[in-house]
Amino acid sequence: MANPLYDELFGHHANSDRVFLLLTDGTEITYDAFLQMGAQFANLTRQFGLNPGDRVAVQVEKSPQALALYAGCAQAGLVFLPLNTAYTADELDYFIENSGAALVICGDWAQSRLDPIVQRLGARLETLNANGSGTITAQWQACDTTFDTVARSADDLAALLYTSGTTGRSKGAMLSQSNLISNAKTLVQEWHFGSNDVLLHALPIFHTHGLFVATNVTLCAGSSMIFMPKFDCDQVIAHLPKATTMMGVPTFYTRLLDDSRFDADLTRHMRLFVSGSAPLLADTHVQFEQRTGHKILERYGMTETNMNTSNPYHGDRRAGTVGFPLPGVELKITDPQSGTELGRDQVGQIEVKGPNVFQGYWNMPEKTAAELRADGFFITGDLGKVDADGYVHIVGRNKDLIISGGYNIYPKEIELIIDEQPGVAESAVIGVPHPDFGETVVAVVVAQSGATVDVDHISAAVATSLARFKHPRLIDVVDELPRNTMGKVQKNILRDIYK
């Protein structure tokens, strides 16, 4: 029976002895062996009583088994919900409750903090570790290696990914089967992926970039991946000679450039380096080309849309731009107030439309209506322009979103915690440039009259409630925050002060 996502990405590799995953210890996993793992998990979810459309929340370390969870969910018609391994119990409580996840899978290290949450919410909890061990392992391995794929339609929900805004709680972006398939097919074509490619994969798989770009493109093209647990400069340099392509965030490339072993000779066999998830500094682009002879291909996407634009494979890859809209994607620059389309070289909000654009936010009809227009255009929240040659430039974010190391951070979440601390009158959280992570978090705090603010206490409070990548690198106490005539804090002035 038809299941577009599984059929297009996974099913057509059945019985293939082609290598899908090459692990850093030398282990090779064929497509057929991987699909058997996925089928075993699909069978296990049926034993657990899950039905098509149920959500499976996953907070586990990167491993072949972790990736097989995605394949099994696709085959069983379940909605895959990957979660950042850095999320705290407070954050996970919200994600699990909001999604209504029926099954939660975590590492042993997270079991004690998740037990009370899943018990209260009536979900099932299992564990899976990076080495393949866990409470789920024996049950999984005992299952049959074949599974009758559940019928689904192209419009059925395939994944739920929580994304950040600047106010309120995170929003669950609903991605359909066709959203994922269309983008994978387009990227295979635009980036010239083929069955002989070997992608060096050092990205996390709880994020759009590592899962729905890198992995889906590999699956769609029938190529192979060097599947690294995480980015490690020594490991990347050691395995790069076996690769033909690499996808990364700017941090990967700045760290490689800091290593003298990374040179033109090491990269002479490579055909493509792709960067995304955060702005690539023009200086990094230039240094990379000077060192290796390769021009990094920068692209632009987001959780709600996957990829929207890309610099050309053949043609001028311009530093400081994200190229052109991908085939099938419409992009326009509009006035943030009126929604009127603007002309070339005029800065406004970026709106996109296409088969890649998500279905809306989970259980948030008002948020969906506010950001997804009736004509299908999605208001991205990014500010940009299209130059005279048609290249798209990202110039900022009209919602003050911070992107650090490729991860979205919304200031309000951090501000709410800081404002609750003793002696704090108010706070403003901003992102400032960082040579490695693109941006890093700075908190500017105003003390209550006559009070003294304990910066260490604030840091500890944030550390207890939020993932490490959201922690301010600097907490500065000031007399007052800059405001406009309407009383609104002018974060643009703060960014200029602390940049």
Q: Cα–Cα distance between 246 and 200 in angstroms, integer?
A: 5
Average pLDDT of the residues of the chain = 93
pTM: 0.85
Write down the pLDDT at residue 168. Answer: 57
pLDDT category at 165 given cuts 50, 70, 90 is very low
Residue 55 contacts by C-beta under 8 Å, 6 or more apart in sequence?
Answer: 78, 79, 81, 99, 100, 101, 102, 103, 160
Q: What is the pLDDT of residue 33?
A: 98
In the predicted structure, residue 485 carries a pLDDT above the cut 70: no
CB atoms within 10 A of CB 107: 19
- Give the confidence band of 491 by pLDDT, cuts at 50, 70, 90: confident
Does a structural domain hold residue 279? yes
Residue 174 lies in a domain: no
CA distances 84 to 107, 304, 316, 482, 492, Å, are 12, 17, 35, 34, 29
Residue that wins the pLDDT comparison between 413 and 217: 217
* Torsion region of 193: left, alpha or beta (phi above 0 gives left; psi -120 to 50 gives alpha): beta
Tell me what percent of the chain is helix, strand and coil, each rounded to the nearest 5.
35, 25, 40
Q: How far apart are CA 270 and CA 259, in angstroms?
A: 18
Domain identity same for 329 and 414: no
- Output the CA angle 158-163-169, nearest 5 degrees: 120
Are residues 407 and 393 located together in one domain of the fold?
no
Would you state the torsion angle of the CA atoms of residues 190, 355, 77, 103, taken in this order, to the nearest 10 degrees?
90
Shared domain check, 426 and 298: no
- Pair 140, 111 in one domain: yes
**What does DSSP assign to residue 279?**
P
User: Which band of pLDDT confidence, cut at 50, 70 and 90, is reported for residue 486?
Assistant: very low
Could you give the CA distance from residue 301 to residue 70 in angstroms, rounded to a whole number? 21
Specify if 224 maps to a domain: yes
The fraction of the chain above a pLDDT of 90, given in percent, is 82
Q: Are residues 389 and 248 in the same domain?
A: yes
pLDDT tens-digit map of 343-399: 999 988 999 999 999 999 999 999 999 999 999 999 998 888 999 999 999 876 676
* Residue 260: predicted pLDDT: 95
* Range in 8-12, 265-269, 277-281, 455-459 with the lowest mean pLDDT: 277-281
> What's the pLDDT at 86?
87
Same domain, 429 and 365: no
Amino acid type, 376? G
Q: Is the pLDDT of residue 126 over 80?
A: yes
Which pLDDT band, with edges at 50, 70 and 90, does 167 fall under?
very low
pLDDT at position 396 is: 67
Residue 415 lies in a domain: yes
Kindly state whether residues 370 and 356 are assigned to the same domain: yes
Last residue of a domain, one of 336, 371, 397: 397
Domains in the chain: how many in total? 3
Residue 114: pLDDT above 70?
A: yes
Task: Tell me which of 201-215, 246-260, 295-309, 387-401 is least confident.
Answer: 387-401
Report the CATH number at residue 79.
Answer: 3.40.50.12780
- H helices of 272-428, in order, are 282-292, 365-371, 411-419
CA neighbor of 159 nearest in space, from 303, 1, 2, 329? 303
Structure tokens at 470: 């959201």
> pLDDT tens across 13-57, in order?
999 999 999 999 999 999 999 999 999 999 999 999 999 999 999
Instruction: For residue 251, give both structure tokens.
Output: 């941090």
Same domain, yes or no: 406 and 362: no
- Asked if residue 143 has pLDDT above 50, the reply is yes
User: Closest Cα to residue 481, out of 449, 455, 447?
Assistant: 447
Whole-number Å distance between alpha carbons of 383 and 347: 7
Given pLDDT bands bounded at 50, 70 and 90, which one contains residue 488?
low
CATH number at residue 490: 3.30.300.30
Please check whether residues 382 and 462 belong to one and the same domain.
Answer: no
Residue 410 has pLDDT above 80, yes or no: no
SS (H, E, C) 312-356: CCCCCCCCCCCCEECCCCEEEEECCCCCCECCCCCCEEEEEECCC
Helix (H) or strand (E) holding 175: strand 171-176
Question: Cβ distance 428 to 415 under 8 Å?
Answer: yes
Contact 57, 118 (CB under 8 A): no
Q: In whole angstroms, give the CA distance from residue 245 to residue 273.
A: 6
The whole domain housing 23 covers 4-152
* Predicted confidence band of residue 417 (pLDDT cuts 50, 70, 90): very high
Task: Assess whether pLDDT exceeds 70 at residue 281.
Answer: yes
